[in-house]
Amino acid sequence: MLCIPMDHGISSYPEEGLNRMDSVIDSIIEGGADGIICQKGVVSYHSKRTGWDGFVCHVSASTAHGGSNSQSKVKVSSASEANSRGATGVSGQINLGDENEPQMLIDMGTLTAEAHEEGMPVLGMVYPRGPNLVVLPNDITGGVAHAARVAYELGCHAVKVPWTGNAESFRKVCEAVPIPVLISGGPKGGDFSETLEIVRYAMAAGGAGVCMGRQVFGARDPAACIRQLREIIHGA
C-alpha cells in the first residue's frame, strides 16, 4: 500500500505543498499512489474534480492552537458521510498516552462500527507519543507494537505507525498483528534516498508499505517520489 496523507492543513498552515493541492494531487495520482488521505471538505472537492476513486477521508482533527489539547484528536465525520463525499475508505487517529486517549479509543471504535456497516476499509493511525505513555521494559519497539495492536483490536483493516529505527524492532511490530503495517514518513528533511532506504528495511521486515505525507507532497516532483516508492513496494 502506498498512501499519501494530506490532512495536515487542519492541524497547521501554511504547509509546503498544500498551497498548490490541485497540481500536487494530480502529480500523486499520475505517479501511481494507491490512496490519498484528506479531510472531508478536501475529499469532496478533489473527488469531484479528478473523478479518482482512491480518496480516503480522515475523520480525526485537532489544531496547533489547542494548547494542551493540540494532540487530542476529535471525530469530525462518519463513514456514511465520507462515503457520500466520494471516499472509498476512512481513517482515524489515536495518540497513545495523551490525556484524552480514552475519547480517541471511543471515536475509533465508533468509526470502525460505522465503516463495518458501510463496507468501507479503515486505516488506523496510532502513535505512541503522549506524556502518559508506558513502555514495558521488554518492549524493544518503544510502544509501536502496542500501537499496531490497538488498531487491530479495534477493527482497523490496516495501521500506520512510526518507524522504530531498525528492522529487528520493526519486525516485532509486524508480528504483533495480521493486518498490513504502514510506516509514517515523519517530518520533511534530509535526502529522500535515505527515506527510500528505510522503506526497503521496513518492507524486508514484514511491512506492507508507507503512509507518507510531507516528504512526498512537499517535494518538487511528487510523481517522481511516488514512482520510486512504488518500485520498492509494488515492484513496478
- Which one is catalytic: 7, 73, 98, 107? 7
139 is catalytic: no
Q: Is 7 noted as a catalytic residue in this protein?
A: yes
Cβ proximity of 5 and 58 under 8 Å:
yes
**CB contact at 8 A, 147 and 112:** no
69 close to 100: Cβ distance less than 8 angstroms:
yes
Q: What is the DSSP letter of 235?
A: -
Report whether 30 contacts 150 (CB < 8 A).
Answer: no
DSSP state of 149: H
Return the SS3 of 236: coil
- Give yes or no for a contact between 1 and 158, defined as CB atoms under 8 angstroms apart: yes
What 3-state class would DSSP assign to 199? helix
Catalytic residue among 73, 98, 127, 152: 127
> Which DSSP string corresponds to 84-127?
HTT-SEEEEEEEET-TTHHHHHHHHHHHHHHHHHHT--EEEEEE
Q: Which member of 40, 73, 75, 160 is catalytic?
A: 160
Q: Classify 36 as helix, strand or coil.
A: strand
Please indicate whether residue 152 is annotated as part of the active site.
no
Residue with cell 514484514: 206
Helix (H, G, I), strand (E, B), or coil: what is residue 11? coil
Q: Please list the active-site residues.
A: 7, 127, 160
